[in-house]
Every structure is written in structure tokens, then in C-alpha cells.
């Protein structure tokens, strides 16, 4: 889209020039999903989740005995990026920007676990990183919360954890 047309469209939609646009594809991650990761966290106690929804994940990690940094900031804005006050990135990001999320997490050069739809494995953008990634496959389909609502009864797609520097025993581990 050209810049003038995009600017006019954004103004009509009520966006300010430099406003962060949050797409409505954020879902909260319940504790039972996070518990699947605990056996693989090792000594990592401080978690950074760069993608804020309602901040619910912070409470869930606290109740599991971990410290989670999760603030409503633009994770892609270098001025708002957290530097290195954490051990590991664990996030359930908006799926509308999967490739951008993977590149962001790799740029930190720290261990990470990113929840993505499992069909990403067939995408060209992720294949170029296969040599450095590992994958955790959940034993069942996950369900999520949406803005304080009750857990959805069933999610229509399967997910996986895309991992980096986690030292899993195999390239692909089924939970």
C-alpha cells in the first residue's frame, strides 16, 4: 500500500501517526500450558514475555514460582525493547506476525520458547532456521483465554513450541 493511501486509511480508522497498532489476535496462556514447559526451564527463573495481552501470563508464572516481565510495550520498537534483564523468552505472540516474532527473539541471542501454530513447519520463512531450532509438540490441543473470558472450549488448530538454546534431548520432543 502506498504511504499516502496508508496514511489516509489510518487517519480514517482513528490511528495517530506514530500509534502502535495492536491487532486483535492476542490470547492469554493458561497455567496448564505453561506447566508443560517447566521440565525444560532448568536454571532459568526470570522470563520475558514481550507480547502483552492483558498481563494475565505474569500472574500465572508467579503462581508457578517464576518471575515474568510482561509490559504493554511495542516489542518491535528498539526504544521499548528490554535488553538483558531476563534468562529466557517464553511467549504466545500474536500469530499475525510470526516471522517477525521469530527474528526478534533470535536477535536477543538468549534461549526462547515461542508458541506457534504447528502448520508453520511447512512455511519457507521458518525452514531457513531449522538448524538452530528445536520443537516441543504438546500432547493435546491447547485452549486459551481471550481478554478475561472463560477458556475457549476448543481451539481449531494445533500448536508447537519453537525453541532455541533449550538443550532438548532431541530436535523434536513430544510432551
Q: Which helix (H) or strand (E) holds 19?
A: none
Spell out the residues 6+ positions from residue 25 whose beta carbon is closer than 8 angstroms to its own: 94, 95, 96
pLDDT of residue 40: 96
Q: What pLDDT digit, counting tens, does each position of 111-153 carry?
A: 999 999 999 999 999 999 999 999 999 999 888 776 656 555 5
Of the candidates 79, 27, 32, the one whose C-alpha atom is nearest the C-alpha of residue 51 is 27
Spell out the residues 6+ positions from residue 59 whose beta carbon is closer than 8 angstroms to its own: none
Of the candidates 92, 88, 94, the one whose C-alpha atom is nearest the C-alpha of residue 66 is 88
- Residues forming beta bridges with residue 103, ordered by sequence position: none
The pTM score is 0.82
Instruction: Decide: 23 and 94 in contact? Cβ < 8 Å.
Output: yes
Of the candidates 155, 168, 157, the one whose C-alpha atom is nearest the C-alpha of residue 118 is 157
Query: What domains can be seen in the chain, in order of their start residue?
Result: 26-174 (3.40.50.150)
Amino acid at each position: 500500500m502506498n504511504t499516502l493511501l496508508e496514511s489516509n486509511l489510518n487517519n480514517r480508522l482513528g490511528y495517530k501517526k506514530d500509534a502502535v497498532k495492536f491487532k486483535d489476535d492476542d490470547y492469554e496462556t493458561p497455567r496448564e500450558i505453561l506447566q508443560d514447559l517447566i521440565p525444560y526451564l532448568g536454571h532459568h527463573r526470570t522470563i520475558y514475555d514481550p507480547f502483552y495481552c492483558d498481563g494475565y501470563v505474569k500472574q500465572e508464572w508467579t503462581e508457578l514460582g517464576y518471575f515474568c516481565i510482561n509490559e504493554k510495550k511495542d516489542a518491535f520498537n528498539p526504544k521499548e525493547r528490554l535488553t538483558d534483564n531476563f534468562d529466557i523468552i517464553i511467549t504466545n505472540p500474536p500469530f499475525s506476525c510470526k516471522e517477525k516474532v521469530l527474528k526478534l527473539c533470535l536477535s536477543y541471542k538468549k534461549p526462547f520458547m515461542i508458541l506457534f501454530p504447528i502448520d508453520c513447519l511447512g512455511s519457507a520463512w521458518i525452514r531457513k532456521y531449522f538448524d538452530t531450532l528445536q520443537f516441543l509438540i504438546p500432547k493435546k490441543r491447547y485452549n486459551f483465554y481471550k481478554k478475561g473470558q472463560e477458556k475457549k472450549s476448543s481451539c481449531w488448530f494445533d500448536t508447537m513450541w519453537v525453541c532455541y538454546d533449550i538443550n532438548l534431548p532431541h530436535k523434536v520432543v513430544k510432551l
